[in-house]
A and B are shown apart, each in its own frame.
Chain A
Amino acid sequence: MIQPVDTILALVLLSVLVSFGSSRLPSLIKVLAFQGVVVSIVPLVIGHELTAGSIVFTLVTLVIRGIVIPLFIYLAIQKVAIRRDVGPIVGYHASLLAGLALIVAATFVSPKFNLPQTGVDALLLPTAITLLVAGMFLLMARRNAIAMVLGYIMMENGIYLVGTSFSVRAHHIVEFGILLDVLAGVMIMAIILQNINQAFDDVDTALLRTLKE
């Protein structure tokens, strides 16, 4: 029987593949926004008991991960005329293939971890691992600085998925603090990006090579 959580996690995995194939920044940002929304609603459908606090927290997460952060980055690239190409170091086809291989590998290794199988969906761990590694992949395989920030956000999504699904004990106030840190971090990155663009007329990180030994 297909449960709603499976559908949602499948959407997350799909968003990873789409992001690997995206060549333009606006579409990559949209994919990440979609992913943020989908990842945020996982705790609602996973079968933990719902309290008023957890529902409010999920909504706040959804607004920040799915709307505020992507919107902020989108506005940052609108304001300054940034080149829209993500600057792939690894090509799109190769990236897609790597993404597929990653999902297969994640699914393969997941059962090997001895996890408490109490109401946790079988697809959850593979999805979380995929998000983490895919985020790192985007960080390394794209030269455009904004694509790198998006990779960082994807990693954070993966950690969020691990955190909310497996350990139910963290207090919402603490979770909220983490969310706030991520938000502030992304905002500071966006501000630096705007300055980089003014200083270099581009956000290609290949230009950031003056400081080295």
Chain B
Amino acid sequence: MVEIVFLIPLLTGVMAFFIPRTTGRSLLVITGVIHLVLSLYLWIRRPVAVFDVYFSVTPEGLLSLMVISLLFFLISIYTTGYLKNTDIRSERVFTGSMLLFLSTMTMVTLSDHIMVMWIAIEATTLASAPLIYTHRSAATLEATWKYVLICSVGIALALLGSVLITLSMDIGGVDVPVAFSALTGEAGRLDPLWLKTGFVFILVGYGTKMGLAPMHTWLPDAHSEAPSPASALLSGVLLNCAYLGIFKTNKLMHAAGLGHFSGTILIVLGLVSILVAATFILKQTEYKRLLAYSSIENMGIIAFGTGIGGLGAYGAMLCLIHHSLIKSSLFLSSGNILLGFGSRLIKETGQLARRMPKTFVAFFSGFAGISGFPPFGIFIGELFIIIAAFRSGHYVAVGIFILSLCVIFAGFAKHVMQISFSDVQATIRLEEKPNMVWPQYALLLTSLVLCIWIPDSLYQTIIHAVNSIGGGF
């Protein structure tokens, strides 16, 4: 019974709207635990779904599911501490939406039917909109409006893309369920013109949701205005869900022998995203927006790696996992900084190392990790992508790639140094409770361990996932 993994958070999410808020906080953690246990069960047993036309357990879906589950569990622990220190008027809506958001994202990772995948991804937009609007200010309103409108329109294009793929089935005379797994076997008979058109629309649609430039404009606003636990979820796992849609369609393209076409578009979009992020990171004034642009950069890296293929696709998968772990820890730390200093501006923060030492350790190591330093996993991922790009002869592209990474590192480092060490008058209003720093440490530690030692089952799953898009060693 695979479906139970997303039905449980759906149920508890609806419950959370009606129960007292303190109970809601524990419900968040309890659901997190149940979800983690069920996901582990799926990981080990890999069962078949009841509605196997619509849902199935795939290697790439499982990877995302495990990341979602682990992240949600740790973030839910952090959230209990965060909610005690902030004044949220409608806390029940917040916890309820968090759980519904978890449910919809889980549904994305398990869906196999093209349309069901679309339904689930659109549902993530709807479930997360109230999270962004939590603080009820004019700015959050603007961010929510942009988020819902831009993503809905973008995802509408993905729906058109999905419809066009069914059209390519009609023309090719393929009579199988409209599911990714069934179609991959018959991909050679799909009409190539409509398949390509469908892929472009799906890439633009889900790319909007994933934060690929130039469709990224909602992302910095939404990530900076949402409360930090919600930002961590948005950046850490929502972007992965959108990527999953692109990944599966790309798989279809590879099976149909059109991998070169999709790869080229992915490389271009990836590079544009990295360049845009580099431009905006340099002159950023708010630290949460800084992290948001860093997410755009990393999504660009992942798209680039996927487009390169081979070792690059393997590297992209590593980047996907480690970006989630590290970026969500950074967003949680930024929540502590926000609660401590009471300002989102970089220039109003300083001497983090002395004032909030525990948060500083998490924030600074997170920065090192996201910039691609060992011993965190993004280092290996980016290294593989660069090697693969050289091997396949994309010299200009990889030149731009490396140069942008250097610029981003320089910009990021300048801001982090300011936050960590510069002299600013401020009184700290937050006591660093264990449940508000340990989740970050746990996330970073996971990334560190996975960099040094990858369990065999994880390795096999990644290889299995990327094999279908021409990835692997």
Chain A interfacial positions (CB closer than 8 Å to B): 114-116, 132, 136, 139, 145, 148-149, 152, 155-156, 159, 162-163, 166-167, 169-170, 174-175, 177-178, 180-181, 184-185, 188-189, 192, 195-196, 199-200, 208, 210-211, 213
Contact = CB atoms under 8 A, between A and B. Distances in A.
Given A139-B153, A166-B167, A174-B115, A159 B159 contact: yes
A148 B146 CA distance: 11
A195 B280 contact: no
B156 A152 contact: yes
Interface string B158-188: 0110011011011100000010000000000
Contact of A178 (B119, B138, B139, B153): B119
Contacts, number: 108
Contacts of A145: 145
Given A139-B153, A152-B152, A169-B178, 18 more contacts: A114-B191, A148-B149, A152-B149, A152-B156, A163-B166, A166-B167, A167-B163, A167-B167, A177-B116, A180-B119, A185-B125, A185-B152, A189-B149, A192-B133, A192-B144, A200-B138, A208-B145, A211-B224
A167 B171 CA distance: 10
Given A152-B149, A192-B148, A116 B123 contact: no
10 contacts: A114-B171, A162-B164, A163-B166, A166-B163, A174-B119, A177-B116, A178-B119, A184-B126, A185-B148, A211-B225
Given A166-B170, A167-B163, A200-B138, A211 B143 contact: yes
Given A189-B149, A192-B141, A181 B166 contact: no
B211 to A, nearest CB: 15
A166 B224 CA distance: 42
B60 interface: no
Contacts of A159: 156, 159-160, 163
A177 B171 contact: no
Interface in B84-138: 113, 115-116, 118-119, 122-123, 125-126, 129, 133, 138
Given A170-B178, A178-B119, A189-B149, A199 B141 contact: yes
Contacts of B143: 211
A180 B104 CA distance: 14
Contacts of A170: 115, 166, 178
B163 A196 contact: no
Contacts of A211: 139, 142-143, 146, 220-221, 224-225
Given A152-B149, A192-B141, A178 B167 contact: no
Contact of A167 (B113, B139, B148, B170): B170
Interface residues of B, number: 43
A188 B170 contact: no
A135 to B, nearest CB: 8
B163 A181 contact: no
Contacts of B191: 114
B193 interface: yes
B115 A210 contact: no
A134 to B, nearest CB: 14
Contacts of B144: 192
Contacts of A177: 115-116, 119
Contacts of A174: 54, 113, 115-116, 119
Determine which residue in B54, B122, B152, B221 has the highest number of CB atoms from chain A within 10 A of its CB, and name it: B152
Contacts of A192: 129, 133, 141, 144-145, 148
A169 B178 CA distance: 8
Interface in B38-77: 54
B171 A116 contact: yes
Nearest to A205: B145
Contacts of A200: 138
B153 A155 contact: yes
Contacts of B123: 181, 184
B126 A188 contact: yes
Determine which residue in A149, A180, A188 has the highest number of CB atoms from chain B within 10 A of its CB, and name it: A188
Contacts of A199: 138, 141
A68 to B, nearest CB: 16
Given A174-B113, A213-B280, A208 B142 contact: yes
Given A152-B152, A155-B153, A178-B118, A162 B163 contact: yes
Contacts of B142: 208, 210-211
Nearest to B152: A185
Q: Which 3 A-B pairs have the closest CB atoms?
A: A167-B166, A177-B119, A181-B122
B163 A163 contact: yes
Contacts of A163: 159, 163, 166
Contacts of A167: 163, 166-167, 169-170
Interface in B211-253: 220-221, 224-225
B154 to A, nearest CB: 11
B42 to A, nearest CB: 23
B139 A188 contact: no
Contacts of B149: 148-149, 152, 189
Nearest to A156: B156
B291 to A, nearest CB: 15
Contacts of B159: 159, 163, 178
A162 B160 contact: yes
A175 B141 CA distance: 31
A175 B178 CA distance: 13
A14 to B, nearest CB: 23
A183 to B, nearest CB: 10
A196 B148 CA distance: 13
Contacts of B139: 210-211
A145 B142 CA distance: 11
A149 B225 CA distance: 22
Nearest to A208: B142
B126 A181 contact: yes
Contacts of B156: 152, 155-156, 159
Contacts of B166: 163, 166-167, 169-170
A213 B145 CA distance: 18
Determine which residue in A115, A185, A199 has the highest number of CB atoms from chain B within 10 A of its CB, and name it: A185
